[in-house]
């Protein structure tokens, strides 16, 4: 896939931390310019994703701001009887998890997030899911994931079993052919949801 307009080539930026920072800035700018109709169409496509029949429990996130809207996806999975666990961001930027029990049981939280109000399951709840759906600003062909920069998911994904697929939600043009910068703490994903 081609790189979003205005994003510098990853190879053009000298070190991983600087490269990540510059790429994040360019990708956020590109997301902010994405037309509303394109966002809605992508959200509708996401909602058509069907996991394998054996999947009973999925972790997901609620897209906010310029992130892909995952609300329709969450509702569709929930309607199929799949249990969904959603993140709760703690003060130290680690993640706890709680079950999604419906939109009426979501609350506004720090950092502009929406989080479930159900009982917390603990950080290790990811060890009990069948598929992990993660946010990203971009991914590359080898599964390198560029997140928002706080490291929440890099720490949380360490709880995932080795056999559990981890899939990022990115817009089509955020699946890059170029190699993304990677640091030792970064964990790769298995691909994108679509």
| pLDDT for the residue 3 | 45
Residue 2 lies in a domain: no
CA distances, 93 to each of 42, 63, 159 (Å)? 28, 17, 15
User: What integer pLDDT is reported at residue 1 of this predicted model?
Assistant: 37
Answer yes or no: is 109 within a domain.
yes
Per-residue pLDDT at 131: 98
Confidence of residue 183 (pLDDT cuts 50, 70, 90): confident
Structure tokens that stand for 29 in this block: 């700018």
Asked if 10 contacts 180 with a C-beta cutoff of 8 angstroms, the reply is yes
Q: H or E element: which one contains 71? A: helix 71-79
Q: 3-state SS string over 18-40?
A: HHHHHHHHHHHHHHHCCCHHHHH
How many separate domains does the chain show?
Answer: 1
Whether 34 and 27 have beta carbons less than 8 Å apart is answered as no
Q: Answer whether residue 1 is part of any domain.
A: no
The H-or-E segment that residue 154 falls in is helix 152-156
In a domain, 3, yes or no: no
Of 67, 5, 77, 78, give the one whose Cα is nearest residue 42. 67
Select from 154, 135, 107 the least CA-distant residue to 192: 135
CATH number at residue 168: 3.40.50.10420
Confidence at residue 66, expressed as pLDDT on a 0 to 100 scale:
95
In a domain, 4, yes or no: no
Question: Do the domain assignments include residue 44?
Answer: yes
Asked whether the predicted pLDDT for residue 110 surpasses 80, the reply is yes
Tens digits of residue pLDDT in 20-73: 999 999 999 999 999 999 999 999 999 999 999 999 999 999 999 999 999 999
**Is 5 part of a structural domain of the chain?**
no
Which tokens go with 193? 């949801």
| Per-residue pLDDT at 15 | 64
Quote the domain boundaries for residue 67.
Answer: 10-192
């Amino acid at each position: 896939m081609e790189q979003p307009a205005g994003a510098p080539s990853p190879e053009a930026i000298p070190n991983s931390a600087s490269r990540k920072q510059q790429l994040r800035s360019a990708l956020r700018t590109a997301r902010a310019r994405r037309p509303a109709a394109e966002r809605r169409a992508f959200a509708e496509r996401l909602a058509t994703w069907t996991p394998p029949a054996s999947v009973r429990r999925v972790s997901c996130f609620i897209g906010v701001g310029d992130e892909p809207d995952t609300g329709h996806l969450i509702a569709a999975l929930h309607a199929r009887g799949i249990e969904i666990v959603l993140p709760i961001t703690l003060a130290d930027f680690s993640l706890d998890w709680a079950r999604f029990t419906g939109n009426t049981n979501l609350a506004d939280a720090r950092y502009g997030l929406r989080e479930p109000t159900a009982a917390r399951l603990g950080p290790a709840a990811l060890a009990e899911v069948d598929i992990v759906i993660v946010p990203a600003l971009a991914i590359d062909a080898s599964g390198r994931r560029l997140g928002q920069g706080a490291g929440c998911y890099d720490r949380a994904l360490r709880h995932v079993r080795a056999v559990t697929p981890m899939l990022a939600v990115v817009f089509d043009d955020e699946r890059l052919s170029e190699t993304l910068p990677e640091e030792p703490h970064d964990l790769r994903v298995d691909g994108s949801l679509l």
